[in-house]
Amino acid sequence: MELAKLVTMLQSAKEGSEYLDYAIQRELGMAKPVPAYTSSLDAALTLLPQGWTIHRLGQLSNCRGGFAGWIGELYRGSDAMIPYPAPAPAASAPLALCMAAMRIRLAETQPGAGEESAAELSQRLGG
C-alpha cells in the first residue's frame, strides 16, 4: 500500500483496526507479531520516528458540550515550528498519533525533504 493512501485511510478511520495495523506494519517492513498501533497508545508511541516527540495530543471541542475528535502533532527539538501540523482530527488518540507518525514518514520520502536552509526558512517566514 502506498504511504499517502495509508495516511488518508488513517484520517478517515472511525476506529482502530487490525487491517490498518497490518498496513502500518507492511510500510515499516517489520516482522510479526503486529502491535495494535491504531487502538493502543503504547503501540502508537513506538511509531514516532527517532528524535521526534509529542507536541500536542488532545481532544477538540465541538462547541456543543462534546468532542469532535483527536489532534496529534509531533516535533523535533531543533524545529522552530511544527513542520507537519495535523490537517484533520482523528477518531481516537492512537489514530491521531499513527496519522502524525505516518505523515512525517511520508514527508521525509518526498524530494527535497529537510533541504531548506536556515536562510530560506527565515526569508519564507518574513525574517
In a domain, 50, yes or no: yes
Pair 30, 46: CB distance under 8 Å:
no
In a domain, 39, yes or no: yes
Q: Read off the pLDDT of residues 15-72 as tens digits, 9 standing for 90 and up.
A: 999 999 999 999 988 778 999 999 999 999 999 999 999 998 999 988 898 888 999 9
> Could you tell me the end-to-end alpha-carbon distance of the chain, in angstroms, rounded to an integer?
40
In a domain, 49, yes or no: yes
In a domain, 116, yes or no: no
C-alpha cell at 49: 520516528
Burial label, 111 (beta-carbon count in 10 A; 0-12, 13-18, 19+) = exposed
Would you state the pLDDT for residue 124?
A: 47
In a domain, 92, yes or no: yes
In a domain, 117, yes or no: no
Where residue 73 falls among pLDDT bands split at 50, 70, 90?
A: very high
Q: Read off the pLDDT of residues 76-113 as tens digits, 9 standing for 90 and up.
A: 888 778 888 888 899 999 999 999 999 999 988 876 65
- The residue range of the domain holding 94 is 3-109
In a domain, 120, yes or no: no
In a domain, 126, yes or no: no
How many domains does the chain divide into?
1
